[in-house]
Amino acid sequence: MDKPKKEPALLHHKPEIRLCLNCGFPNRDSDKNCMYCRTSVVDDAGLISWMRQTYYILRWRWQLKQRREKACTAPKGHLSFLNLLGFFIVGAILSSVGLYWFSGAVAENSFSSGLIAILFLSYGIITLRSLFIKK
């Protein structure tokens, strides 16, 4: 059987979007008003309209990038007191359970219980370490 032929991409295919000239938000062709800022969407033709649309696309992308960077650069090191207290309690419980099980595993000469105890102990230490060491 022959492979199905792929249809070539249309180079002059008009995208089915209209850009708002106020905010640059891409809207559907069927929209009368911008979905973002509610201003009317006008469809112009020509070089000046193309330049204006390009400007608004770039401006819109830049605004989205700024919002994304602002959201990503939120202070990560500033956890609330309750979060810090919760992490500390979880770390302390995991560490103490790990130490208790490890001492019992050593007393019973149980290798598998010792591995589980070391796992609990290491999770507790990692949790406590993450509270005190800045990244």
Question: Which pair of tokens denotes residue 4?
Answer: 């199905």
Q: Which amino acid appears at position 77 of this protein?
A: G
Q: What pLDDT shows up at residue 28?
A: 85
pTM greater than 0.85 (yes/no): no
| pLDDT tens, residue order, the chain (135 aa) | 555 555 544 445 556 777 777 777 888 888 888 888 887 776 566 777 778 778 877 888 888 888 888 877 656 556 678 888 898 999 999 999 999 999 999 999 999 999 999 999 999 999 888 888 865
Q: What pLDDT shows up at residue 25?
A: 81
Would you say 95 and 121 are in contact if contact means Cβ atoms under 8 Å apart? Answer: yes
Would you say 13 and 5 are in contact if contact means Cβ atoms under 8 Å apart? Answer: no
Cα–Cα distance between 72 and 49 in angstroms, integer? 34
Name the 3-class secondary structure at 2: coil
